[in-house]
Homo-oligomer: A and B are copies of this chain.
Amino acid sequence: MEIKEKIMEHTKEVEDIIVKFLPAEEGYQKTVMEAMNYSFLAGGKRLRPMLMLETYRLFGGSSKAIEPFMAAIEMIHTYSLIHDDLPAMDNDDYRRGRKTTHVVYGEAMGILAGDALLNFAFETACKGLMLEPGNPNVAKAMQLLAQKAGIYGMLGGQVADVESEGLPLEREKLDFIYDLKTGALIEASMLIGAVLAGADEEAQNVILQVAGDIGLAFQIQDDILDVTSDMETLGKPIGSDEKNHKTTYVTIRGLEQAQKDVEEISQRALDGLASLKEKNGYLDELVAYLIHRKK
């Protein structure tokens, strides 16, 4: 089977798991539930829950406790997109070809829907905690989720990104933003998979490095595609970074060097996975594919 087909199958599997945790649309608070589900169901690669599940499988995990955490990480990713799109932030009217949440439901409900998804992510993860309330690995997974999403994780990266808008950016700060804004949730995904499956500390450290590299390669590839792709392939306007005078990895390192870097970083991620005694062939293929993605 071609890797693209395999990814489609696995995406379907992940979707079927995570949608089970969405709230029913009912009661006086129905609108916010509709807005949550509208945003969550807008599509996307489901990369984070997929990496979580495959890392969990890599280390032989097989319990249902992983499922609420898969849904939770996607809820956190979705809330961050809703709030990023708000008028006071990036002010985007469209995402993935659909109207953004605040355009459909109004700005107040956009704020509340984001808040609701962030809160519901923890509420959902608590279901995992209550499945095995005495298991310290589940408590550790909960802590990783909170840490990697917050001010020392994704949100910290968003803050630095918002504050850098329109300003020239030094390499150190760009690395910080990439590491946190994109990297942190991918690290959370893979580490939670590893921790819940009971991977030892040495293996957890390998996974942390691998996940950091995947996040970085993913983000650099985003910058490269913004320069080299076309709108039809990418599904969104290209050249937006240049238009917004945005400092990216490509503007700092140049296109050719950025392409070399992405190969090198990705290879390092694959080498990391290869160094483990545990194997998951699909995870290797997925990581290799992500690097050469065209959108």
Instruction: Identify the A interface with B (CB < 8 A).
Output: 23, 27-29, 31-33, 36, 79, 83, 86-89, 106-112, 114-116, 118-120, 122-123, 126, 129-130, 133-136, 139-140, 142-143, 146-147, 149-152, 155-160, 162-163, 173, 176-177, 180
Q: A126-B146, A129-B142 are contacts. A155–B32 as well, Cβ < 8 Å?
A: yes
Count of identical protomers in the assembly: 2
Please state if B115 and A88 are interface contacts (CB–CB under 8 Å).
Answer: no
From known contacts A28-B176, A151-B33, infer whether A143 and B126 are also in contact, taking CB-CB under 8 Å.
Answer: yes
Chain A interface, >50% SS class: helix
A180 to B32 alpha-carbon distance, docked (Å): 15
- Per CB-CB distance, the 4 closest pairs between chain A and chain B, nearest first, are A88-B107, A29-B156, A133-B136, A123-B146
Further contacts, 19 of them, CB under 8 A, given A29-B160, A134-B135: A28-B176, A29-B157, A29-B159, A32-B155, A32-B156, A88-B111, A89-B108, A112-B162, A115-B118, A115-B155, A116-B159, A118-B119, A119-B146, A119-B150, A122-B142, A126-B142, A130-B140, A130-B143, A142-B142
